[in-house]
Structure 1
Amino acid sequence: MIRITIVSALNRLSLSPFSCSRNISTGVNPLYFQFSPCLYAEPLKKKKRLDPAIIKQREERRRKRLEKQIRRLEKNARQLKPIDELEVPLNLTYEKRERQRELPPISPEEAEERALLLKEWARYKHSQHLADLQMIDRIIFAQQKALDELRKESEELYLEAIQIDPGLIPFETKGPVHTPPIKDYDSPDGEYVDISRKWS
């Protein structure tokens, strides 16, 4: 009875799909079955010994390739990245003649009048600048004279006078605490599409 059971079990095992890759060992006891694991491997390949000259040539080639890449990167590093906003579109370059205005020529009398007006304006601004400087000098001189006289009277009052007054220019603002909503305003959700070009 036991023999029939063992034979039927072996027949079932021989029909299984793993029978080609597993070995069955009964060992000493025929009722003890032990399966070996599936090993799908091949023997290690023997390392080929290379000529030291070939290894040196490969290293030299790799070093030259790296140096070439470094030189290319250094050359490109000096070039500034173009800013699209500052580049003039090509269609505007082509339409330059069409867009250029042709002004009528200025008569010699008009040119002379403009030159005289410009000189007069320069003289006026120069005299205004000198007047401002003289007024500032007068104010500083009067202030220093008043401080000197105050120092002669009282050293304590002089020290109090030269202190910086934080409340000399008071600045207070009071604005709206709540902004009324804008009618039919489509509020942005904070998402955007980045269309800027990527530079390596």
Structure 2
Amino acid sequence: MSTWAIINTLNRLTLQSCTKRGIATNVLLNFRATPCLMAEPLKKKKRLDPAVIKAREDRKKKKIEKQIKRLEKNARQLKPIEECEVPLGLLDEKKTRMRSLVVLSEDELEQRQVLEKQWATYKKKQHLADVQMLDRILFAQQKALDELRKESEELYQEAMQIDFRLLPFKREGPLETPTIDNYESPDGDYADVSKKWE
């Protein structure tokens, strides 16, 4: 039996056992092909009338143009914000709610200007005093550290370490308003009543 006959018989055996389509290598045969898979024929394309195709494209084009026109028309209109609108009831009561402005005399205007200037100078002096106090504290702290370094380098290094016991720092200071006894704070739930605009 020749080598070609052996290859043909082996090739037939491998073709019958394979179900996938592809190319594979084999040590004995070096190269082989698997059988083709069954497939159904392609569906025949329906030929459409060019006028029908053109009509469809025109309809799509008109629809898109109509949407663009509608968007351009509404582009200048902003969505209404309820918080910025004045209620109609207040507009009706506008004349009854109008207050006449009190005309201030020259002495009153001058007195107010003097008070504003005095308040500004007072706040400036207060700010300068705070800055000077901070400078004094920082200078004293640096002087104490320098003296400590002259005494002992080890103590200086210990003083420069961060005290992690101070990090979970909590304090309660004076409040703007006194606390209310037995006050239960709300959970933070709210009902979203904002309108959705599409």
Q: Distance in 1 between matches of 2:170 and 2:191?
A: 42
Deviation of residue 170 (structure 1)? 5.4
- Counterpart in the other structure of 1:143: 141
Q: Distance in 2 between matches of 1:198 and 1:87?
A: 17
The number of residues matched between the two structures is 138
Secondary structure class of the residue paired with 1:112: helix
Secondary structure class of the residue paired with 1:167: helix
Q: Distance in 2 between matches of 1:75 and 1:144?
A: 70
Q: Specify the code of the residue in structure 1 equivalent to 2:135.
A: D
Deviation of residue 132 (structure 1)? 0.9
Secondary structure class of the residue paired with 2:121: helix
- Counterpart in the other structure of 1:164: 162
Cα deviation digits, residues 82-103 of structure 1 (max 9, x gap): 3323422122133223212224
Q: Evaluate the alpha carbon distance shift between residue 91 and residue 148 of structure 1 in structure 2; reply closer, same or farther with a 3 A threshold.
A: same
Q: Specify the code of the residue in structure 1 equivalent to 2:104.
A: I
Deviation of residue 77 (structure 1)? 8.0
Identity rate, percent: 64
- Counterpart in the other structure of 1:30: none
- Counterpart in the other structure of 1:118: 116
Deviation of residue 113 (structure 1)? 0.7
Structure 1: gaps spanning 5 or more residues: 1-47, 174-179, 183-189
Secondary structure class of the residue paired with 2:67: helix
The correspondence of residues 21-170 of structure 1 with structure 2, limited to 5 A, is 50-66=48-64, 68-69=66-67, 72=70, 81-168=79-166
Q: Distance in 2 between matches of 1:79 and 1:129?
A: 50
Q: Evaluate the alpha carbon distance shift between residue 171 and residue 195 of structure 1 in structure 2; reply closer, same or farther with a 3 A threshold.
A: closer
Deviation of residue 63 (structure 1)? 3.6
Q: Distance in 1 between matches of 2:64 and 2:156?
A: 74
Please tell me the root mean square deviation across aligned C-alpha atoms, in Å: 3.8
TM-score, normalised with respect to structure 2? 0.54
Q: Evaluate the alpha carbon distance shift between residue 63 and residue 113 of structure 1 in structure 2; reply closer, same or farther with a 3 A threshold.
A: same
Q: Evaluate the alpha carbon distance shift between residue 171 and residue 128 of structure 1 in structure 2; reply closer, same or farther with a 3 A threshold.
A: closer
Cα deviation digits, residues 25-82 of structure 1 (max 9, x gap): xxxxxxxxxxxxxxxxxxxxxxx96431431242143144235536755886897643
Q: Distance in 1 between matches of 2:130 and 2:171?
A: 30
Deviation of residue 123 (structure 1)? 1.0
Deviation of residue 157 (structure 1)? 1.8
Q: Which has the larger radius of gyration?
A: 1
